[in-house]
Structure 1
Amino acid sequence: MAGNQQKGRQLSEEELQELVSSSDAGARNPVGPVGMFLGVLALIWSLFQVLLASPVSNVVLPGDLINNSRQIHLAFAIFLAFMAYPALRTSPRDRIPAQDWVMAAAGATIALYGYIFYDKLVQSGGLADDTDKWFALAGLVLLFEGARRALGPAMAIIATIFLLYVFFGASDMVPEVIRWKGASLQKAMSHMWTTSEGVFGIALGVSTKFVFLFVLFGALLDKAGAGNYFIKMAFGALGHLRGGPAKAAVVGSAATGLISGSSIANVVTTGTFTIPLMKRVGFTSEQAGAVEVASSVNGQIMPPVMGAAAFLMVEYVGISYLEVITHAFLPAAVSYIALVYIVHLEAVKRNMPTLGDRVVSLGRTIGGMAVFFAGFAALCYGVKYPVGWITAAVPDGAGWVLSALIFLAYLALLWLAAQTDDLEPDDPNAEDVKLPVVGEIYKAGLYYLLPIIVLVYFLMIEQKSPGLSAFWATALLFVILLTQRPLKAIFRGGSHTANAFRDGVLDLVSGLIDGARNMIGIGLATATAGVIVGTVTLTGIGQVMADLVEFISGGNLILMLIFVGLLSLVLGMGLPTTANYIVVSSLMAGVVVELGAQSGLIVPLIAVHLFVFYFGIMADVTPPVGLASFAAAAVSGGDAIRTGFIAFFYSLRTVALPFVFIFNTNLLLIDVTVVQGVVTFVVATVAILVFTAGTMGWFLTKNRIYESLALVLVAFALFRPDYLMDRIQPPFTEVEPAGLAQALDAVPAGENMRIVVRGPDFITGEVKETTLVVTAEAGTPGAELLDAQGLALLEEDGVVKLEEPFPGTPFFDTMSGFDFYGDKPVQVVAARAAADQMPQELMFIPALLLLGLIAFLQRARMSREGVPA
């Protein structure tokens, strides 16, 4: 397949659907009784997951079924994987060989091992006996084979390498820097299969509780027709602008990417319409594919789903879901704004024609879209007031009243939709492309927004769990799929309501089956990634990775971050978003935190996880693997490798943003006021547009080299005003370690004191440093505060030594890597308090003046050359 794409052959519609199905849902589709059986099995899986997420799960489902839901989840996934994904390219697609039936049954049975022998494993404390360990090993082999089929070889190979490291980590063949003592088969299998440290760990738990419902929600929403509606609305709003198809591709992919867990499916779903139209107005095949790749992959960084990584971050970072999506929103939003600007600059540079004969104002279009999104956000937020009034008025029956009101709103919007024709997919290759008019089609799908409003309301306002929120939104979609066809028929005066209802039932069943099939790969990915997580916790390789990165980077913070980014990129190659995030965060997140602290950079954990996540998903773009780039090339007929490189160039702002928010956490809206948040958004948007203009070589007109460099400098100043201000005024005042407690007394409440600690490493004995942050508290003397943190200081021979913190104190885990009983003491070598400094925002003034100067020079040059403004 890849070879064909690289030669520039454009795939047919059937081949494209096979590409999507083979990557996301399985290439095999048997018919007859076997096909019926698999469809029923997928349907049962979806219904089980919906019931598990429902408020009545504790009443309807037995307790042992709920307690072992991870095992049941994996059993469904592994059985369907062997059914839906053929072993080889030459394997049959229309039937299932006997060996696949055997492996499917064996894999599902062993996945249920913990459920079947629950009492036995509990009594043994999860320790595998001689029988358990062989079943566990067979389970891992079958899991890896299922993952190879569903996800490609990369995931299975990586997991196998990590498992071999568990067994043979003590071998002389292993480099000394990563060598460890190794583990027996019994210990390894206990860790990986019979406890919740490996396969059945946090990742599979998140897949079971949250991810399935969101994938199902996306599948049902698409089955209802929302995907086509979003694309048509995007083309109606932007298609007539210069480079309009590309701008519409970005917005349409953003809308579908919000609920999609697959960048490949996003590329093919929206790309089959957007890419031919982009080529029509002047984009090359590779550029058209690259725009679609960049916008589709960006959908994975946009809340609320983020390719299911958002739910994993809740567990790994230990913060609420609301906080995760709050922190992730701003970088994703400015990244999409920059991508729209990129395609605008490409269109201007090439003087591309517009589609159609309708004259559309860019300003009015942007204003209209801004008003729509602001109105939608206000609606989602404002719903809480009438809900609060109803809850106060009828506390016992509020649920029924609210359900009735939602249904009435649905009826009203559906009646509105029935006044227009149903939206049919357009042919992008038609001779005369008639782009939709927003004013004529918007009514056709307004009711699709209701499930999204319900989802956002429960997540953001009620702050319910993601699983319960997705359940209520999915329940509304059940109603929509069952009733939209017959109710439209009634509103239009038709007489075929029974047939319409039957079609609605078929739509619902088909959506439930599609949701289950789309989850096969994600279920196996989270289970297989659990082996990697288990290896990290069992062997302590995370510390080894930190030492390796520190050695290669020479302790330089920027080089360290670049190297971590590259490692995340390599580790993410060939992996779906969910598995990608689990792997890179397990190995790399701790590295950034530890080495950052050694360099005096205190990085919030969410910033670190987003950093490695951004670089991990770039593997979908970057050759030689770049799965999304290969999919786009299959649609466009362009060269896959060239498409990948252009897409990476378009994604430079996605590469730059992680470096920005590591140093400037305001971009993640961490500890900022509402006013600061608005200012941060405006400044970050201007900065990313200026950065884009600098890297694209075009601002108002073609840049001179010095103008491009100046634009990048302006962007840096807007993103990192603190860096420039720190050069003018030092951010910290040095404090003598001996006077640390007294200096802490003078620090205002809520302000931080940074304490630099140096001492021998517990394992290697080499001297290392780390930075601790102590926050002053009102009314608490500095000495008491240090004791409460576990920092017992002892001054001897002019050196302030630090005693080992007691277990349970805040810095016990942080300091556990130091050897407090060696020949060299662990000591406080420096302390720094925040100094009075001018507002860093003053740096915006020279940056904006320089930007104005560049604009003045380019306008003058345009006037001399007779170029219209």
Structure 2
Amino acid sequence: MAAHDNKEIDKHELMAKYDKESAFRTNLGAWGWITLILGGALTIFQLYTAFRGAYVSMIQGAIHLGAALCLVYLLYPIKSSMTKNRGVPWYDALLAIAALFTNYYIIYNYERLINEAIIFGFTYLDQIVATAGIILLLEATRRVVGLPIVIIAIVALLYGLLGQYIPVIGHAGYDWPTLATEMFYSSSSIFGIPIQISSTYIYLFLFFGVILVKTNIGQFFNDIALRLTGRYTGGTAKAAVAASGLQGMVSGSSVANTVGSGSFTIPMMKNAGFKPHFAAASEASASTGGQIMPPIMGAAAFIMASYTGIPYNEIIVIAIIPAVLYFAGVFLGTHFEARKQGIMGLKKEELPKTKNLAKRIDLFLPLVIIIGFLLVGYTPTYAALFAIGTAFVISFFRKETRMSLKGTIKLLEEGARTALPVIAACATAGIIAGTVTTTGLGPKIAGGIIDLAQGQFFLVMFFTMIACIILGMGLPTTANYVVTATMAAPALLAFDVPVIAVHMFVFYFGIVADITPPVCLAAYAGAGIAGANPMKAGVTAVKLAIAAFIIPYVFVSQPILLLQGDANVLNVSIAVVTALLGMASISAAMIGHFVSKVNWLERLLLFAGGLLLVYPAYLISLVGLAIFGVVAVIQFARNKKDGPGPQEATTS
């Protein structure tokens, strides 16, 4: 028992080190009852309004954000090093009350604020409350999410204030009272689309993820993946990729996914023979990819639906092919690395028993329900509600997952705590989006990118990618999509590109910031578990996740991979098959091993042929196929001549 407890403590400390949202107080004392009641009440409120219908957006958002910020100040100390201190200091208690007051001020004065104040102006008290509300939001976001998004929000506010002094991309400028009240009392900034979606759909799906953990479906995913892939070459890594992709889609944090799954998968990969940095990179790239995996996609898909006007149930279908290609790339990368290192699969007796898995097959039901309901046209709200109800009922089937009344209340509180980083990030992202919209900054940034690229489409894509990676560093999934969609997407929208392709492009490159050096927080977290060099893990993660750096260019240039344009069954099938072959070729080039070790020329040819195969145009793909075929023939001939290596000699 003691060893298990130490493992859990180490896991929490690792999460707190690399994931700001995990650095919460662990010794609340009597304050624990307050957070239990408030967190449970927030979850009940979200379930109630999902069932009966939400209030008007400002009131729904104010209740949602006010309770969340109050919980942030009670749970998250001013410095991460203070998480083990007992209780809640008096100043944080005052800040929690102030956060409640500033948001609930909107509820009490709603009619006046949206009717009279717009005509007759805001009072001094209105301006003071708005200023306090913005400051309290930014500080809460710093505590629970981190500095990067807060810095961007502050720069956005300064841009709104000092626009008349800024050359090239300047504007007339706003005085503080005007800017503050616009940010806090309108439905286009703090209480704009991100927080509106957070207060309706996102919270429910995050709570669904909490229930999945409680019903042990995460471990079930691990066992299923291990049973299906464990006996093949490098099976432990392949199982980790499959399981992490499935688990990762219900969370808004690549780092949390990496630590949550990696505490199980990384030691397993190391024991099988994978090098520590590779084990860390495999987990980080798969967990980050969970954010692009339908149907939940780290909750950003809900906001994408609002921004693009494309229904959510269509977006999750559109996103399938790029997600499959991403995971195919990671999966193939682990395969070639295993062959390179001579790593075998597990023995049959080491795998989970099929009979035992069959007994737990009902654990798939909540996921089946949520996907089925979404595809047949139910709203995300009802799909999530039915899935939550199903998962809750399933928890009573087994003694180990059956919850008492106290356990159920604790579950409600945990649902609220899990949502806090997303709520704070969405509200702060609203400041950024509101400033961009109010000042007309988006088109100016787009114009700057286009001018820098001298109108060359490929260069516009490249500069947009760089902007997305920089903006996405250190931001949670939903927030980085909001930021990149408002600040970087307009550059591509200036060209004749489908809206969904543009938004998927910025979404992908915002996500891969989590594994792109020098920041690469997910790779750092994985390296912490593996005891590996973080930068080496980050570079390896980029190699494994190379599809995420290539596929977006393809679906912007040829949107057939997003089922746009001439996307009939034949064309899509050919595009998918050639893209999968292309990913095999590119992955072999990145790892440096195909049938056997590849020399520099073969590596170059494999990479070039893979790029041509991925591009969905018949002639170009045929050239790529020819190059790929030539290298394959050379490799097989050399392998036959030299005799099989240790890996080939031991596997059929």
Q: TM-score, normalised by structure 2?
A: 0.93
Is the Cα–Cα contact under 8 Å of residues 167 and 185 in structure 1 kept in the other structure? yes
* Alignment equivalent of 1:451, drawn from 349, 366, 382: 366
| Residues in 2 aligned to 1:448 and 1:354: alpha-carbon distance in whole angstroms | 26
| Residues in 2 aligned to 1:721 and 1:91: alpha-carbon distance in whole angstroms | 54
Q: Normalized per residue, which structure has more strand?
A: 1
Deviation, structure 1 residue 678 = 2.7
SS of the residue corresponding to residue 702 of structure 1 reads coil
Is the Cα–Cα contact under 8 Å of residues 223 and 507 in structure 1 kept in the other structure? no
Is the Cα–Cα contact under 8 Å of residues 504 and 552 in structure 2 kept in the other structure? yes
| Residues in 2 aligned to 1:151 and 1:81: alpha-carbon distance in whole angstroms | 10
Give the RMSD, CA atoms, in angstroms.
Answer: 2.0
State whether structure 2 residue 332 is matched by structure 1 residue 341: yes
1:586-631 deviation line (CA, Å, top 9, x unaligned)? 101111111xx2xxxx111111111111111111112332221221
State whether structure 2 residue 24 is matched by structure 1 residue 27: yes
SS of the residue corresponding to residue 699 of structure 1 reads coil
Is the Cα–Cα contact under 8 Å of residues 226 and 445 in structure 1 kept in the other structure? no
Match of 1:848 in 2: 625
Deviation, structure 1 residue 186 = 2.5
| Residues in 2 aligned to 1:258 and 1:130: alpha-carbon distance in whole angstroms | 45
State whether structure 2 residue 33 is matched by structure 1 residue 36: yes
| Residues in 1 aligned to 2:643 and 2:183: alpha-carbon distance in whole angstroms | 70
| Residues in 1 aligned to 2:22 and 2:577: alpha-carbon distance in whole angstroms | 41
Match of 1:464 in 2: 378
- Aligned residue type for 1:855: A
1:71-100 deviation line (CA, Å, top 9, x unaligned)? 100011100111111101343532100000
Match of 1:14 in 2: 9
State whether structure 2 residue 638 is matched by structure 1 residue 861: yes
Is the Cα–Cα contact under 8 Å of residues 46 and 515 in structure 1 kept in the other structure? yes
| Residues in 2 aligned to 1:637 and 1:539: alpha-carbon distance in whole angstroms | 47
| Residues in 1 aligned to 2:274 and 2:398: alpha-carbon distance in whole angstroms | 39
Q: Which moved more, 1:21-30 or 1:346-355?
A: 21-30
Match of 1:371 in 2: none
| Residues in 1 aligned to 2:251 and 2:356: alpha-carbon distance in whole angstroms | 23
State whether structure 2 residue 183 is matched by structure 1 residue 192: yes
- Aligned residue type for 2:553: F
- Aligned residue type for 1:858: Q
SS of the residue corresponding to residue 80 of structure 2 reads coil
State whether structure 2 residue 87 is matched by structure 1 residue 95: yes
Segments of 5+ residues of structure 1 without an aligned counterpart are: 1-10, 359-433, 489-499, 723-840
For 1:74-93, list aligned pairs within 5 A: 74-91=65-82, 93=84
Match of 1:164 in 2: 158
- Aligned residue type for 2:108: I
Match of 2:3 in 1: none
Match of 1:621 in 2: 515
State whether structure 2 residue 23 is matched by structure 1 residue 246: no
SS of the residue corresponding to residue 190 of structure 2 reads coil
Is the Cα–Cα contact under 8 Å of residues 575 and 616 in structure 2 kept in the other structure? no
Match of 1:351 in 2: 342
State whether structure 2 residue 106 is matched by structure 1 residue 114: yes
1:618-646 deviation line (CA, Å, top 9, x unaligned)? 11112332221221122111122222222
| Residues in 1 aligned to 2:619 and 2:159: alpha-carbon distance in whole angstroms | 53
* Alignment equivalent of 2:281, drawn from 290, 296, 300: 290
| Residues in 1 aligned to 2:372 and 2:270: alpha-carbon distance in whole angstroms | 40
SS of the residue corresponding to residue 291 of structure 2 reads coil
State whether structure 2 residue 322 is matched by structure 1 residue 331: yes
Is the Cα–Cα contact under 8 Å of residues 667 and 684 in structure 1 kept in the other structure? no
Q: Normalized per residue, which structure has more helix?
A: 2
Deviation, structure 1 residue 25 = 4.8
Q: Which moved more, 1:339-348 or 1:446-455?
A: 446-455
- Aligned residue type for 1:18: E
Deviation, structure 1 residue 846 = 4.0
Match of 2:392 in 1: 478
Q: Which moved more, 1:542-551 or 1:310-319?
A: 542-551
Is the Cα–Cα contact under 8 Å of residues 128 and 189 in structure 1 kept in the other structure? no
| Residues in 2 aligned to 1:185 and 1:861: alpha-carbon distance in whole angstroms | 72
- Aligned residue type for 1:485: R
State whether structure 2 residue 605 is matched by structure 1 residue 710: yes
| Residues in 2 aligned to 1:301 and 1:101: alpha-carbon distance in whole angstroms | 38
1:473-506 deviation line (CA, Å, top 9, x unaligned)? 112222223x2236x9xxxxxxxxxxx96x4444
| Residues in 1 aligned to 2:586 and 2:523: alpha-carbon distance in whole angstroms | 24
Deviation, structure 1 residue 449 = 1.4
| Residues in 2 aligned to 1:233 and 1:92: alpha-carbon distance in whole angstroms | 36
Q: TM-score, normalised by structure 1?
A: 0.71
Percent identity between matched residues is 34
Flag the 1:182–1:31 CA change in 2: closer, same or farther, 3 A. closer
| Residues in 2 aligned to 1:187 and 1:19: alpha-carbon distance in whole angstroms | 43
Is the Cα–Cα contact under 8 Å of residues 236 and 435 in structure 1 kept in the other structure? no
| Residues in 2 aligned to 1:475 and 1:866: alpha-carbon distance in whole angstroms | 58
Pairs aligned (count): 635
Deviation, structure 1 residue 115 = 1.0
Is the Cα–Cα contact under 8 Å of residues 24 and 262 in structure 1 kept in the other structure? no
Is the Cα–Cα contact under 8 Å of residues 610 and 628 in structure 2 kept in the other structure? no
| Residues in 1 aligned to 2:426 and 2:83: alpha-carbon distance in whole angstroms | 27
* Alignment equivalent of 1:71, drawn from 62, 78, 82: 62
For 1:113-512, list aligned pairs within 5 A: 113-124=105-116, 126=118, 128-171=122-165, 174=166, 176-355=167-346, 357-358=347-348, 435-461=350-376, 463-481=377-395, 483-485=396-398, 503-512=403-412
| Residues in 2 aligned to 1:713 and 1:479: alpha-carbon distance in whole angstroms | 52
| Residues in 2 aligned to 1:443 and 1:706: alpha-carbon distance in whole angstroms | 48
| Residues in 1 aligned to 2:160 and 2:28: alpha-carbon distance in whole angstroms | 43
| Residues in 2 aligned to 1:639 and 1:858: alpha-carbon distance in whole angstroms | 32
